[in-house]
Amino acid sequence: QKEVEQNSGPLSVPEGAIASLNCTYSDRGSQSFFWYRQYSGKSPELIMFIYSNGDKEDGRFTAQLNKASQYVSLLIRDSQPSDSATYLCAVNIGGTGNQFYFGTGTSLTVIP
Amino acid sequence: IAGITQAPTSQILAAGRRMTLRCTQDMRHNAMYWYRQDLGLGLRLIHYSNTAGTTGKGEVPDGYSVSRANTDDFPLTLASAVPSQTSVYFCASSDSWGGDTGELFFGEGSRLTVL
């Protein structure tokens, strides 16, 4: 079992809709959580990070963390065609040092 | 601003050959990482280094070795390449200590094909 699990999708939403991406992790000691966006053929780039339970909002993006359920999500409001990409959930499991583990990614397509 | 530079960007390699993927960062980040990305499997951590002189094993370390002689460089070596090591390899760095901070900055990737 992977440390970080994501639904690989693909997920399709119409332009202007809310896209919801989900992620679960197995290590209860994990302390920091990240969402990266990766366009085809490109490197991943950070969208959001969250450390505390609850919601964190940044523009059209909201990250949600529930440590008790070991669950992280990303909401994208007013989805745009430019949001079409693969979204990667990452968890820093810490321990003896920093080890960032990624999920398999969710492919999102926003339909104009 | 270079950030992280990986070389080569692409390489075709015969099975059994030795190969070193180079990674250099100019951000003075203490931590560096190597990932491989395969379709359907996402990014998998191969090796990491939290500071110069130290390295650690990630999820899929077998067949790979790393060294961290200084802050800036973190080469990944395949001692005897096998076709299952065909992948896109990403080097990354972060400026973080402990377990709860740190954005990862990625290089552009190295596409390796082992025949």
pLDDT digits 0-9 by tens, B43-69 = 999 999 989 999 999 999 999 999 999
For residue A74, give the nearest of A57, A91, A52, A93 by alpha carbon. A57
Q: Write down the pLDDT at residue A28.
A: 85
Q: Considering only CA atoms, which of B80, B112, B92, B79 is closest in space to residue B35?
A: B92
Residues of chain B contacting residue A29, judged by C-beta atoms under 8 Å apart: 99
Report the residue from A32, A95, A104 with minimal CB separation from B42: A104
More confident residue, B2 or A85: A85
Residue B100 has pLDDT above 70, yes or no: no
| pLDDT for position B98 | 45
Kindly list the residues from chain A whose CB atom is less than 8 angstroms away from the CB atom of residue B99.
Answer: 29, 31-32, 92-95, 97-98
Per the structure block, which two tokens stand in for B54?
A: 């130290």
What average pLDDT does range A41-66 have in this prediction? 94
Which one-letter amino acid corresponds to residue B60? Answer: V
What is the reported pLDDT for B115?
96
Return the C-alpha torsion angle A102, A41, B41, A103, nearest 10. Answer: 20
- With an 8 Å Cβ cutoff, is A19 touching chain B? no
Provide the pLDDT confidence category of residue B99 given band limits of 50, 70 and 90.
Answer: very low
B42: enclosing H helix or E strand: strand B42-49
Residue B96: predicted pLDDT: 67
- Cβ neighbours of B107 in A, within 8 Å: 43
Please, what is the average pLDDT of chain A?
91
What pLDDT score was predicted for residue B1?
61
A18-27, A94-103, B16-25, B28-37, range with the lowest pLDDT: A94-103
Of A3-7, A108-112, B62-66, B86-90, which gets the smallest average pLDDT? A3-7
Cα dihedral B47, B51, B54, B58, rounded to 10, equals: -20
Residues in chain B: 115
In a mutagenesis test of the A interface, which of B23, B33, B104 is the best target, namely the one with the most A β-carbons within 10 Å?
Answer: B104
Residue A13 has a pLDDT of 96
Phi-psi region of B46 (alpha: psi -120 to 50; beta: other; left: phi over 0): alpha
**Residues contacting A20, CB < 8 A, separation 6+:** A73, A74, A75, A76
Q: Please say if the pLDDT value at position B80 is more than 70.
A: yes
CA dihedral in degrees (A1, A102, A50, A96; nearest 10)?
A: 80
Convert the pLDDT of each residue in A68-91 to its tens digit.
999 999 999 999 999 999 999 999
pLDDT at A100 (0 to 100): 87
Indicate the pLDDT class of residue B91, thresholds 50, 70 and 90: very high
- If one compares B102 and A53, the residue with the highest pLDDT of the two is A53
pLDDT at position A92 is: 86
Q: Please tell me the least confidently modeled range out of A2-6, A71-75, B30-34, B48-52.
A: A2-6
Question: Which pLDDT does position B40 carry in this prediction?
Answer: 83
Q: How far apart are CA A61 and CA B10, in angstroms?
A: 34
Mutate to test the interface with B, among A35, A98, A104 (most CBs of B within 10 A): A98
